[in-house]
Structure 1
């Protein structure tokens, strides 16, 4: 550290000692009220979210008789019989595999296509680019249940009705407008100097996008990937309407079919286990990528 820098740091420290208001501010009564109220609301909201999940987790280790006899008590014996029965006997294992295939392939396709579309719309002035962007925005406002009948006949004409590829195509079309809308602002805010420098170094449009611009939009990519994963994993209306083949069921429609078919003879322990099988992957993905999601939100607000 140079002599001038040390002198500047010393002067800054002396200034803070002489005037404490430069780095400290006494909290007012209003600040305390707002802070206390927000903490109370967040605590109540956390309990509303966490307690049902904990109750479902404990219930997944109980029998139906134990659940009705002691809804909030601990199970007499901790075992994974309900999970094994739900996974094997009720075909939730096959449904889980179908869900992973459909959501995984759809997520990869929608992220690649959405990023490429958002990049072109944000970085290039092409005839009709604004119209395409507004059409994407219109896709966000269009209620999905109004498209069920046209989608049904389109997939039927393509011989993709009640198939996993047909469901994948539908998921991609469903998630693409939101992906383009979300990534458009990220690509728009990237500096043009870096793109021009890549061109000067001889990089093609494809190489500039995949090796220079796309890594710079990583926070936005991570955030929209998490949101798309949550939306596609929990999707219910599209598979229940376009995927009537039992061997191709995904978890959301499988759980609904199991609950409706069992009627009053429903095994609630197995049902709770099936719910946990559906929830656990979502929790794992969010826990692993929550830092990227927080980083993208803070980066977006700072811009």
Structure 2
């Protein structure tokens, strides 16, 4: 073996040792262990704070009013769904649930469609005044909702939509549109222009390019903003209370508030807890099934 070859082998061995040292898992320091332990303890405490009230609400939804006041922290004597049946039929929460599904579903479809189209135009085309429109959309995020309650009330009253589901749908769309445009703007802005130009070369129109090429590429952003809008609109309370005074058109949030305050201490507490479970179950289902997609979409959007 020549000296040159021996030197090369020595260099390679040195590199191998350096690579092995770099790839070897680093032992955590004392401060890392302290931070990790503290974080786990805080998360465990926070989980208990969140989970225990949900479990207590679930157990109370199977109790009678007497059981709730006599033994609030024990298991129910019977697991019969009587409270759920009463809440759904006797106290009209079934109709309120249907109203909520209609309002949130239609508003979500409209705000996603209009928000995606608006964000696409603002991000991909040099339209005169596009920056001004975008900044006005951002200004809408900073405008407190309660300041618009009185003007919205008289506007809906003037067009005959006060206390109706279409009026509430229009208000929900206007409420969620600025956030949707702001969130989707960065996704459409980061898409490669070469794909858009290739669609034009193939003879695709602007509408076909948007719906069949660009919109599917922004699916992560659409999924994330759709889930966030669903959670915000489903839990909306101030807008329906102020703009939906018709009792037959109540949604779940204002229905529960009216039910809880209607009879004071004589309210059916078991049915009230059952109504709370009916209200939060759809939100939990949506979050459980889409939490991975939500986390991935948000991280992808922020990394861009």
TM-score bracket, shorter-length normalisation: over 0.9
Q: Which residue of 2 aligns with 1:281?
A: 282
Q: Which residue of 2 aligns with 1:52?
A: 53
Q: Which residue of 2 aligns with 1:246?
A: 247
**In the TM superposition, what is the alpha-carbon distance from 1:41 to its structure 2 partner?**
1.1
**In the TM superposition, what is the alpha-carbon distance from 1:297 to its structure 2 partner?**
2.0
**In the TM superposition, what is the alpha-carbon distance from 1:16 to its structure 2 partner?**
7.0
Q: Is the 8 A contact 1:16 1:23 kept in 2?
A: no
Secondary structure in structure 2 of the residue aligned to 1:19: helix
Q: Is the 8 A contact 1:110 1:176 kept in 2?
A: yes
- Give a deviation string over 1:221-280, Cα, whole Å, max 9, x none: 011111100110011111001111110000000000001102110111111000000000
Alignment of structure 1 residues 6-21 onto 2, 5 Å: 15=16, 19-21=20-22
Q: Which stretches in structure 1 are left out of the alignment for 5+ residues?
A: 1-10
Secondary structure in structure 2 of the residue aligned to 1:73: coil
| Comparing 283-292 and 216-225, the one that deviates more | 283-292
Distance 1:38 1:147 in 2: 41
Distance 1:110 1:38 in 2: 38
Q: Which residue of 2 aligns with 1:120?
A: 121
Distance 1:18 1:247 in 2: 71
Q: Is the 8 A contact 1:152 1:242 kept in 2?
A: yes
Secondary structure in structure 2 of the residue aligned to 1:76: coil
2:178 is aligned with 1:164: no
Distance 1:112 1:265, change over 3 A: same
Distance 2:223 2:167 in 1: 26
TM superposition score normalised by structure 2: 0.93
Alignment of structure 1 residues 69-148 onto 2, 5 Å: 69-148=70-149
Q: Which stretches in structure 2 are left out of the alignment for 5+ residues?
A: 1-11
**Number of corresponding residues:** 292
Distance 1:247 1:300, change over 3 A: same
Runs of 4+ that moved beyond 6 A: none
Distance 2:127 2:302 in 1: 29
**In the TM superposition, what is the alpha-carbon distance from 1:182 to its structure 2 partner?**
0.6
Distance 2:189 2:158 in 1: 39
Q: Is the 8 A contact 1:103 1:229 kept in 2?
A: yes
**In the TM superposition, what is the alpha-carbon distance from 1:194 to its structure 2 partner?**
1.1
Distance 1:20 1:182 in 2: 43
Q: Which residue of 2 aligns with 1:299?
A: 300
TM superposition score normalised by structure 1: 0.93
Distance 2:273 2:291 in 1: 26
Distance 1:45 1:216 in 2: 37
Q: Which residue of 2 aligns with 1:230?
A: 231
**In the TM superposition, what is the alpha-carbon distance from 1:300 to its structure 2 partner?**
2.3
2:64 is aligned with 1:63: yes
The structure having more radius of gyration, on CA atoms, is 2
